[in-house]
Chain A
């Protein structure tokens, strides 16, 4: 078996992880999310890990509407 971890994170910890990953890509979480919804992502794979983390949050989470 490979190393296998499970992390139970709070909403704030998930948001921090999303923001950290977005910062590496010089992206805003809200802009990225809306680019995804609007089918404007150039490379889905580049951000699929971020989108998967966003799926853990409630649909009305403030991170999706932050400027």
Chain B
């Protein structure tokens, strides 16, 4: 990351983040594109490489009901190139509930995975969320950490360490970006005095209305 890019004027990006954040929260079919733009600007401000991309896929027949946001350019890819040359797999399945009184966008599933390669064979950690885990053997929101070794010999675990779904509550893109910057040293394009309040505010607003994932395990 060059010094000049960190010192660039982010005012337009910040205005756009506020604009699209508010727009996607309003709901309705136009919220899908607003969410795409919000995520794009958020990643631009933080860990997204200059030539990275995100894309939205809509079914022509149900374009006003469902959409999927993924990283990459839509050529079968789903990962965002990061400023350190590594990747964030980004998948968010969105829908509008015609039975609901409101018209808010909801998330059916999401997946944020830090990985060193584009395809994700060499992953580091991943957050997974499913709105309705039902009887699945994991909580609706959880974290996997890549690791084989478990150093406490006297503690028995049912699976390998990386297969354990550590419960997290609702994973957020903001907390994932913050983790990448703070703990994994992924360079941010803007200074912390710029990105930190933006992530804090949008995450706080999101968690205020976000669905809490169920406990899973048949509960």
Majority-rule SS of B interface residues: strand
Give the docked Cα–Cα distance between A15 and B109 (Å). 19
Whether the Cβ atoms of A5 and B55 lie closer than 8 Å is yes
* Count of chain B residues near A, Cβ 8 A: 50
Give the docked Cα–Cα distance between A21 and B120 (Å). 13
- For residue B55, give the distance in angstroms from its CB to the closest CB of chain A: 4
Cβ-based interface call for B177 (8 A): no
- For residue B1, give the distance in angstroms from its CB to the closest CB of chain A: 16
Whether the Cβ atoms of B108 and A55 lie closer than 8 Å is yes
Q: How many A-B residue pairs have CB under 8 A?
A: 119
The range of chain A's interface size is 20 to 34
Cβ-based interface call for A49 (8 A): yes
* Chain B residues in the interface with A (C-beta under 8 A): 13, 16, 33, 36-37, 40-41, 43-44, 48, 51-63, 66-68, 70, 73-74, 76, 78, 80, 89, 91-93, 95, 108-109, 111, 113, 120, 123, 126, 128, 130, 135-137, 144
Beyond the given pairs A2-B43, A44-B128, 4 more chain A to chain B contacts, judged by CB atoms under 8 angstroms and listed by A's residue number, are A8-B60, A10-B59, A53-B57, A56-B58
Q: Which 9 A-B pairs have the closest CB atoms?
A: A3-B53, A48-B111, A49-B78, A52-B68, A52-B93, A56-B59, A5-B55, A4-B40, A6-B56
7 of the cross-chain contacts (CB-CB < 8 Å) are: A2-B43, A3-B52, A3-B53, A17-B57, A49-B68, A49-B111, A53-B68
